[in-house]
Structure 1
Amino acid sequence: MPLKPNHMSIVVNEVEPAKEFLSLLGFEETLTKVISGPIMEEYLGVPGIEAEHITMVLKGADPYFDIQLLKYHSPVSPQNEHIRDLSAIGFNHFAFAVDDLDAILARLKQAGVKMRNKEMDYRGYKMAFIWGPEGLTFELVEHGS
């Protein structure tokens, strides 16, 4: 049975900039609630959890895909000092396929999103890294025809 993407979660200290960034990529906020209590503590393995949980759905994605933003009230989230270092062990970057890289980069730059590198061609793909919320790296890839 093949795996299909469903969702990912990002812990943020600043909710609004993260929501604005994701909306530029085509995500839409569908649900916001506060999660807490014994069931969430057991599920996430975070004692004393209380967090704002915002579901951002990628419009038109097939299969369904969302990014869940978590803003912890308790415990307070420390900044990940290695999140910007793409040579560190662990998470590296998110990548999304796009139909027109130049158009989406122009829109993102106009909205103030910063590039992490220059757009490049590699193995028949056009790609670029951009800075996302909380110092995360996102990659946009346009597949060649």
Structure 2
Amino acid sequence: MAIKRMDNILIVVDDLEAVKAFFIALGLTLEGETTVEGPQIGSLIGLKDVRATLAMMRTPDGQGIELDKFHTPEAIRFGPVDAPVNTLGLRRIMFAVDGIHDIVARMLEHGAELIGEMQYENTYKLAYIRGPEGIIVALAEQLP
């Protein structure tokens, strides 16, 4: 047996609408949204009395980001919202893009914060931005 692919990653959020809008502005699409609850869900994830709204976002190439808003039990915030990149745990998502400067400008108009930009040798332009809930997104544009 071998891993076939990565299906999706999960980001637990408090303001589901703001985070969905952020990823839509970035270029992802909302594939669907549903509410899950009940003992079977709780048993799967190791919590009791679970009720959560899930929104599945898709990149243009089909990769998934699942956004979950827990209604019960309440989500637990671990650390500051604006934690730096060297904080332990999953810290960022990186997307390959075309037109990095336009994307950064568009995301700043949607309330994102620019963490930093650089050109790596003659191969990539890179930018890190912070969106709602402190989510860090890295953008990489390959140079011709």
Q: TM-score, normalised by structure 2?
A: 0.87
Distance in 2 of aligned mates of 1:69 and 1:98: 22
Q: Secondary structure at the match of 2:5?
A: coil
CA distance in 1 between counterparts of 2:34 and 2:110 reads 27
For 1:91, give the aligned amino acid.
L
Contact 1:82–1:88 (CA under 8 A) maintained in structure 2: no
Give SS of 2:22's match: helix
How many corresponding residue pairs? 141
Deviation at 1:71, TM superposition (A): 0.6
The secondary structure found in structure 2 opposite 1:72 is strand
Structure 1 unmatched ranges of 5 or more: none
1:6 Cα deviation after fit: 2.1
Change (3 A) 1:139 1:3: farther
1:46/1:20 CA distance change after superposition, 3 Å:
same
Shift in alpha-carbon separation, 1:43–1:80, aligned structure 2, 3 A = same
Q: Which residue of 1 aligns with 2:52?
A: 51
The alpha-carbon distance between structure 1 residues 131 and 97, as it changes in their structure 2 partners (threshold 3 A), is same
Q: Secondary structure at the match of 1:116?
A: strand
Q: Residue 57 of structure 1: CA displacement?
A: 2.0
CA contact (8 A) 1:51 1:70 kept: yes
In 2, the alpha carbon distance for the partners of 1:57 and 1:91 equals: 19
Structure 2: distance between partners of 1:45 and 1:97:
34
Q: Distance in 2 between matches of 1:82 and 1:45?
A: 25
SS of 1:108's partner is helix
2:74 to 58, 73, 76: 76
- Identity value in percent: 28
Deviations 1:83-138 (A, max 9, x none): 51322221121111101211211221222321112x20114210011012311211
C-alpha distance in structure 2 between counterparts of 1:102 and 1:120, whole Å: 11
User: Are the aligned partners of 1:36 and 1:49 in contact in 2 as well (CA < 8 Å)?
Assistant: yes
Asked if 1:21 corresponds to 2:22, the answer is yes
